[in-house]
Amino acid sequence: MGFKIIVCGMIFLAMGCSTASESPQVTFPVRINDGEIAPFDTALGYRVDLNEARLAVKNIVFTVSGELHTASLWDFFVPSAYAHPGHYEGGDVTGQLAGAWALDLNNTGHELGSATLLPGKYFGVNFGFSRGNASMGLAEGDPMIGHTAIFRGTARKLGIEYPFEVITDSEEDRILVGAPFGATLDGSSHGVIGLMYKPVDPYEKDTAFDDLDFSTFTPDDDGVIRIVPGKNSVEDAYNKFHRRFETHDHYSFSYNQAPMHVTAYGESFIENGIPASAVSDGWALSYKKFDVQLKDIHVAGATFAGPISVDLTKKSQGHGTLVGSASVNVGSYAGGEFTIDTITIEGTATKGNIQKQFAWTLNNATDYSNCHSTTLIDTKAAGTFQITVHADHLLFDSIVSSDPAVGFQAFADADRNNDGHITPAELLDTDIKTFDPGNAAINNLWDWLLALSATVGHINGEGHCHAAPHTHDL
């Protein structure tokens, strides 16, 4: 019966139909889901720690809700205290990943391949149990060969440890029907499908090991209890384990988007200051405040409208400050854009025993777009889109040069009343002298500073973006 389901699915996908021709197929990587198998407790009071869990499976198919629509959604919405109806048969197969694998269930992230699915509202997965063989990549002599699953670990109870090995064999035509898989997929979905082995049934809290009373088994000469097919002394235990092992409650699939973080980072120049060694005229700068107001951030299909203010002087151990996080589709995203609205800086410039204070609010909202960046979103690690702010750009002597000098003397000289504070009014009243504004009509240091403030935004360190005056809010 199960094979019929699979065959129908293959024909459905290969031949197409009215639904298929209207809805493009989408492919998704299928991986062993994140997370090691945690130790668990059995009904007989053993704590089981699996250090090996391998399973031979084949031909995974994905089903959308059929007539049992309402019942099949039971598991996703009803608290686990309630028993589920237990019947998932039904539903149409509209996706598949053909093949056969010897899966290491602890091998987080291991990819089986790419499944092809039609858009739809999915609720279940069926797969065949198989037997390990060389074509699955198993080495000669691997104990998996010829068997469906192998579990090795230690059971503990009352301070006594029972090392064990359980091997189990399913009939070659045995199909597991109705592992839960809740996902609504369309042509824009780009997540990863994760396969999880659940030693503890999340609904009924039973485990495949519940009937194994380890203290009653006689270990082999090496001290390991072996519950394996064809061993008369453990036949009853083997059969009970095997029956539980084959139930769908111990397998589930999930559709995973992945986390993406947007951060803002002012690098060492803002967190620790700009040392005199990085300035051509001997001034060093330190910032008490370097506040950037961010808004309209778009990357990887996510939007952070803001405005969000971030003080980049906070020490971040190289990570920058978190601006926002989102769960997005897995993929590789080029570009990205953001707007830096107001920049508020306070600090001190020092040269020898001379100090100049400044406290400036730079209102020159700038849109940064078409950023030269690639944001990789993967379930193995969070992707990061880092808005990097280069403070030294405020000290450039040219807006157009690709290799400008970095200096502060012109600003120090603008402290006309020599009170140690460089005010906006004093900057407005000071000529830019030898600074190079290109074609821009800039003739005082305050406007010069505003113009330079539109160049500080970068992406992921040195990545450039197209900078332009802010045009419109979201």
Binding letters toward Ca ion, positions 367-406, x by CB under 5 A: ----------------------------------------
CA distance 390 to 388: 7
CA distance 259 to 377: 7
Q: What residues contact residue 407 under an 8 Å CB cut-off, 6+ apart? A: 279, 280, 281, 283, 395, 397
Out of 173, 419, 429, 431, name the contact with Ca ion by CB under 5 A: 419
- Give the interface segment with Ca ion, choosing from 198-206, 394-402, 408-416, 454-462 (CB under 5 A): 408-416
Out of 18, 21, 232, 417, name the contact with Ca ion by CB under 5 A: 417
Q: Which is nearer to Ca ion, 319 or 421 (CB)?
A: 421
Q: Which is nearer to Ca ion, 285 or 328 (CB)?
A: 285
Out of 421, 425, 438, 474, name the contact with Ca ion by CB under 5 A: 421
- Identify each DSSP E strand in 214-352 by its residue range: 225-227, 251-256, 258-265, 284-299, 302-304, 308-311, 321-328, 331-334, 337-351
- The residue type of 247 is T
Q: Which is nearer to Ca ion, 367 or 415 (CB)?
A: 415
Find the shortest distance in angstroms from Cβ 358 to Ca ion. 10
Burial letters for 440-454: b for 16+ Cβ neighbours within 10 Å, e otherwise? Answer: eebebbbbbbbbbbb
Find the shortest distance in angstroms from Cβ 423 to Ca ion. 5
- Give the interface segment with Ca ion, choosing from 108-116, 120-128, 345-353, 419-427 (CB under 5 A): 419-427
Residue 415 interacts with Ca ion (CB under 5 A)?
yes
CA distance 191 to 273: 41
Binding residues with Ca ion: total (CB under 5 A): 4
Q: Which is nearer to Ca ion, 365 or 414 (CB)?
A: 414
Binding letters toward Ca ion, positions 268-297, x by CB under 5 A: ------------------------------
- Give the interface segment with Ca ion, choosing from 262-270, 337-345, 369-377, 412-420 (CB under 5 A): 412-420
Q: Which residue number is nearest to Ca ion in terms of Cβ?
A: 415
Find the shortest distance in angstroms from Cβ 426 to Ca ion. 5
CA distance 100 to 264: 45
Find the shortest distance in angstroms from Cβ 425 to Ca ion. 9
In order of 30, 224, 266, 315, 467, the CA distances from 312 in angstroms are 40, 58, 5, 8, 20
- The residue type of 61 is V
Q: Are 126 and 78 in contact (CB under 8 A)?
A: no
Residue 429 interacts with Ca ion (CB under 5 A)?
no
Find the shortest distance in angstroms from Cβ 421 to Ca ion. 5
Q: Are 182 and 64 in contact (CB under 8 A)?
A: no
Find the shortest distance in angstroms from Cβ 355 to Ca ion. 12
Binding letters toward Ca ion, positions 132-151, x by CB under 5 A: --------------------
Rounded to the nearest 10°, the torsion over CA 79, 82, 86, 88 is -20
Q: Which is nearer to Ca ion, 31 or 356 (CB)?
A: 356
CA distance 466 to 24: 34
Phi, psi of 117 (to 5 degrees): -130, 150
In this structure, what token pair is assigned to residue 249? 């409650």
Show contacts with Ca ion in window 66-85 (CB under 5 A): none
Q: Which residues are at the interface with Ca ion (CB under 5 A)?
A: 415, 417, 419, 421
